A and B are shown apart, each in its own frame.
Chain A
Amino acid sequence: MDKAVESSSLSPSVKEPMLLKTNIVGFNTIVIREFNRIIRIWGQTIVPPAITATLYFVIFGSLIGGRIGDMGGYSYIQYIAPGLIMMSVITNSYGNVVSSFFGAKFGKHIEELLVSPLPSWLIVGGYVMGGITRGIIVGGVVTAITLIFTHMKIHSIGVVISAVLLSSIVFALAGMINAVFAKNFDQISFIPTFVLTPLTYLGGVFYTIKLLPDWAQGISHANPILYMVNAFRFGFLGVSDVNVGLAYTIMIGAAVVLYVSCVWLLHRGVGTRE
């Protein structure tokens, strides 16, 4: 029987490539497993955001949007389109990790990963990649629906891609922290319902904050989703309520802080180990 690691006689120079290979295969396995999960439960992961986006475009875009007129120099439906795509990316990146990781905790199959030689930073990375995958799939579906209702120009493809990826990473990581601390299913729906949804709706998806009084604009600037939505909108339309450089600083900073926090929590075994 060949052994996984006939390790005691191995020098560090042999062990390192062996662990590197383990890490690469392990990372791919987590990502493929997450992708298969997204596809297996497509009725929960892909269809609902597509229906929601369609309703938004029908009601706010076509029916009400026509009476609102232009916003930020664009028709209302064009103005809200990037925000709606970003909203679906954010909620699905978050939702994928929080439900998958908490489900693994609840079903105890997180132990498969915890007893494996995969390091915490890689396990976090695998789950985040799963969150990004669902965010991008759903974002792609919502974009396709958007194109049924309106045409979209692209001001900067680089900004579009980087903003969507960074936002997806940030909320996938936030979803993981929620899942780490959650002890029951109520606690994984609490944050999306009472924190994420209000922040998203008040994050400039449906309006420019320039319509708000000064005090409300000030409060809006404390909302991280405002920066993500506006950076993404800038990539499409070239208009933004916030400084795009500041938006990137906030997204990158949040991603780094949340990633380090997730790795630390998993390494310490908070919520996962006795």
Chain B
Amino acid sequence: MQALTFQQLTKTYKNGVQALKGIDLAVEEGDFFALLGPNGAGKTTAIGIVTSLVNKSSGKVQVFGHDIDTELAIAKSCIGLVPQEVNFNQFETVTTILLNQAGFYGIPRHVASKRLEKYLTALQLWEKRNAVSRTLSGGMKRRLMIARALMHEPRLLILDEPTAGVDIEVRRTMWTFMRDINAAGTTIILTTHYLEEAENLCRHVAIIDKGRIIENDRMSRVLRKLQTEVFVFNLRNPITAAPVLPGYAVSMPDDHSLEIEVSKDQSLNDIFSQLSASGIEVLSMRNKTNRLEELFMRLVNQKEAAHG
């Protein structure tokens, strides 16, 4: 079953900006789906339409088969939203915010109290349950919004940049939590500017740019489309000049490292052989940029070049 479908979805704002230009999208139930795109691409507009914070101009949206035009209440009850900006009442306590949220979805108080403990504990916020929300740190506020979105245990969880501005330790805790939620059966749609996050967590990816979907496939297939990758080799001993490796573009950012561009049909073994023959010993290597990030930039730049 499909958790979410868009058919020819368009949105034109009153100021004439066409945020969505007829997008089609399907997210399978149980998927961990990345919706990526540069700022202003239309991601938040699309999410706003699904959650009814934005009125669509035309097209069709279904959540677990429920059309938002005809079965809005049922469709909404299937969705949990973690928005980009903090949007809880900053004068209320953590507990009050969560109990109210549960109430808005018809969850009785005794059930909500148990879930509150479960999610606050899992998100390491239990100690803060009686704190007024404005006193929480940025990372805690993000986690509180995740707990809030889960209070009615939605079938579809939409995370709009949930880890923005969060330190790496908290981010990794949140990744583990999101994986667990997804493994328990909740479909997750994630938007993020941390492409490493999307590559690590998501099984499918759609890239949206200027209101159109420019890529939509399995993450592994999308990554295979990357024709070349740049690897950084860290060297044991300093070198004075970049070696000449036939068939490869080599640059030397400093005297202890080399950057080598490798295309899909080339082999790393060959590079290591040539480096060894040149008397260069490699200590370690890594991708210069995240693979998805590299692909993302190329796709977006290609599109811009094509239009411009």
**Which residues of A pack against B, CB within 8 Å?**
1-8, 10, 15, 18-19, 21-26, 28-30, 32-33, 36, 40, 104, 107-109, 111-119, 269, 273-274
Contacts and interface: CB of A to CB of B under 8 A. Distances in A.
For B89, B90, B91, B99, the residue with the greatest tally of chain A CB atoms inside 10 Å of its CB is B89
B85 A33 contact: no
For B1, B55, B76, B88, the residue with the greatest tally of chain A CB atoms inside 10 Å of its CB is B76
3 smallest CB-CB distances across A and B, nearest first, come from A29-B103, A22-B106, A108-B87
Given A4-B77, A5-B74, A8-B1, A273 B55 contact: yes
A115 B73 contact: no
Nearest to A113: B104
A23 B101 contact: no
B106 A23 contact: yes
B216 interface: no
Given A7-B78, A109-B89, A115-B76, A22 B105 contact: yes
B153 interface: yes
Contacts of B272: none
A7 B104 contact: no
A8 B77 contact: no
Interface in B44-80: 45, 48, 51-55, 64-66, 72-74, 76-79
Nearest to B88: A109
Contacts of B77: 4-5, 7, 22, 117
A4 B55 contact: no
B228 interface: no
A118 B104 contact: yes
Interface string B96-109: 10011101111110
B72 to A, nearest CB: 8
A39 B186 CA distance: 38
For B48, B55, B154, B155, the residue with the greatest tally of chain A CB atoms inside 10 Å of its CB is B155
Nearest to B14: A274
Contacts of B79: 115
For B13, B81, B90, B103, the residue with the greatest tally of chain A CB atoms inside 10 Å of its CB is B103
A269 B99 CA distance: 25
A116 B79 CA distance: 9
A96 to B, nearest CB: 15
Given A25-B103, A25-B106, A29-B104, A115 B78 contact: no
For A6, A24, A33, A112, the residue with the greatest tally of chain B CB atoms inside 10 Å of its CB is A112
